[in-house]
Amino acid sequence: MSTLEDRVRASLLASRRWHGAEIAFWLLALAVFWLFPRNLLLLNEIAILALFALSLDLILGFAGIVSLGHAAFLGLGAYAAGLLAKHGIGDPLVGLAFAMIVSGLAGLLASPLIVKGNDLTRLMVTLGVALILHEIANSWGSLTGGADGLQGIAINPVLGLFSFDLFGKTAYLYSLSVLFVLFLVARRMMNSPFGLSLRAIRDNSLRAAASGVPPSQRLALIYTIAASYAGAAGALIAQTSQFVSLDVLDFHRSADVMLVLIIGGPGYLYGGMIGAIVFKFLQDTISAFTPQYWMFWIGLFLVLFVLRGRTLIHGGVKLIMSRLPARVRGKRS
């Protein structure tokens, strides 16, 4: 094999190789189970929000699809898993798979409305779909419990071994495991020919089509996958809290996840996770000393962050990511 082919192979390999910072991130995510045993409920919320934000990252960060109604799929997944458990199938993994299928199918059905439009159309369509689902859930009280929420959900132990407890031990490890597995799948996808074609569409749809990429087909596919990821996050909410309320379909869920991704930075898979940590930490800290007005401070933070801080945080993360492999190479040579 020629030297140039070796170099091409090495460059393609480098783009998907694990960084030291990534391994450290996941080890730390596991270690907090022992480091912060009193905060496992909060950590569980962070893991679920991170999965929801990862779902948004797949469409926004990698494919350039903006959405103001991503909670539609979160809510569908939550109700799907909750209803399944309520009607006798309480196995969490079966519920998780069912929620992903239901939300994925909804994403597939909605995708023709998404792939053809421009950003403004997409914002309005996604917002509209979420509002419609919210109203259906509200009005169909016999199925969803309406404004009282879906009660009577009984979830079996995970793998028949680990029961959900009041302190969030099983919940956090379960949510973290689901997040990690779905992250691995997403990482693999984004480093595949399919992932490369999504980046192409995001960068320049005109050139992507002129390069043989069918933009509509690929966008529909990633939208379906992202919807099923959001459904998984919804299932985790239903299963770890054993309750589903209309809140899962509320507009603030769609807005929050957008903020989370903006804080963490879209397009590199970790943005949703970093954003979820920062967002939940801020929410928890600020609401502790000003329970009534914490949204004011969050709002102020976001304004300042978008104006000034975003480049600092994203730049810092990218610097760390770029430095680590460079050091490894330096030691080898």
Partner 1 sequence: MSAVLQTNALVKTFGGIMATDRIDFTLEKGARHALIGPNGAGKTTFVNLLTGVLQPTSGTVVLNGEDITQLSRESRVKRGMARTFQINQLFSTMTPLAMIALVASERLGYGVRAFSRLDHDRRVIEETAAILAQFRLEDIMDNSIASLPYGKQRQVEIAAAFAAQPSVLLLDEPAAGVPEAERRELLNIVGSLPSDVSVLLIEHDMDIIFRFATRITVLVNGRVLADGDPTIIARDPAVRAAYLGEASHA
List contacts with partner 1 (CB under 8 A): 2, 4-5, 7-13, 15-16, 188-189, 191-197, 199-200, 203-204, 206-215, 217-218, 221
Minimum distance, C-beta of residue 63 to partner 1, in the bound complex (Å): 13
Query: Smallest distance from the beta carbon of 3 to partner 1, in angstroms?
Result: 9
Helix (H, G, I), strand (E, B) or coil at 220: helix
CB of 267 to partner 1, least distance (A): 8
Supply the minimum distance, in Å, between the C-beta of residue 226 and partner 1.
13
Cα 263 from Cα 278, distance rounded (Å): 8
Q: Which is nearer to partner 1, 16 or 323 (CB)?
A: 16
Contact 156, 149 (CB under 8 A): no
Q: Are residues 260 and 276 in contact, defined by beta-carbon separation less than 8 angstroms?
A: yes
Q: How far apart are CA 282 and CA 274, in angstroms?
A: 12
Shortest Å distance, C-beta 266 to partner 1: 12
Residue 66: burial class (beta carbons within 10 Å; 0-12, 13-18, 19+)? middle
**8 Å CB contact between 106 and 76:** yes
| Segments in the chain forming alpha helices (H) | 3-14, 20-35, 40-60, 71-86, 92-115, 119-139, 141-144, 169-190, 193-203, 205-210, 215-241, 251-264, 271-289, 294-304, 310-332
11 vs 292 by CB, closer to partner 1 = 11
Shortest distance, position 219 Cβ to partner 1, whole Å: 12
The secondary structure element, H or E, covering residue 292 is: none
Residue 163 or 217: the one with the smaller Cβ distance to partner 1 is 217
In the complex with partner 1, the residue whose CB is nearer, 168 or 215, is 215
Q: Which is nearer to partner 1, 137 or 225 (CB)?
A: 225
Report the residue number, 188 or 252, with the smaller CB distance to partner 1.
Answer: 188
